[in-house]
Amino acid sequence: DAGITQSPRHKVTETGTPVTLRCHQTENHRYMYWYRQDPGHGLRLIHYSYGVKDTDKGEVSDGYSVSRSKTEDFLLTLESATSSQTSVYFCAISPWSGGASTDTQYFGPGTRLTVL
């Protein structure tokens, strides 16, 4: 299994508070991703990173920011959490290198976030 961990695994917070989720990998993969999973919506990409300090938006990036200061860590921040951000958040990594390869992704165990 790919070495990928997420912390915390569970968090309950109140509306308006800042929240940071951490994804840590030991595989030295270039690409890292943050998704949210909600009933009826599958996996939706929030942000992704293609290198240290190189990030881009996904399809549901509003209300979220990310940072990647080291290859192994990718942080997802909710500056002011809202109830609509209650979800399960998954981090993923990929050894994708472009060209003819596919971005097979390896997922972390997830973080269940509840915003009251």
Partner 1 sequence: DQQVKQNSPSLSVQEGRISILNCDYTNSMFDYFLWYKKYPAEGPTFLISISSIKDKNEDGRFTVFLNKSAKHLSLHIVPSQPGDSAVYFCAAGNTNAGKSTFGDGTTLTVKP
Residues contributing to the site for partner 1 (CB under 8 A): 31, 33, 35, 40-45, 48, 50, 58-59, 90, 92, 94, 96, 98-110
Question: Of 42 and 62, which CB lies nearer to partner 1 in the complex structure?
Answer: 42
Task: List the one residue out of 88, 39, 40, 46 whose CA is nearest residue 63.
Answer: 46
Beta strands in 1-116 (DSSP E): 4-7, 10-13, 19-25, 31-38, 42-51, 54-57, 64-70, 73-78, 87-94, 106-107, 111-115
> Residue 1 CB, nearest distance to partner 1 (Å)?
9
> Residue 90 CB, nearest distance to partner 1 (Å)?
5
Question: Of 40 and 62, which CB lies nearer to partner 1 in the complex structure?
Answer: 40
> Residue 15 CB, nearest distance to partner 1 (Å)?
26
Q: Report d(CA 116, CA 65) in Å as an integer.
A: 20
Question: Of 39 and 62, which CB lies nearer to partner 1 in the complex structure?
Answer: 39
> Residue 75 CB, nearest distance to partner 1 (Å)?
18
Q: Report d(CA 88, CA 63) in Å as an integer.
A: 16
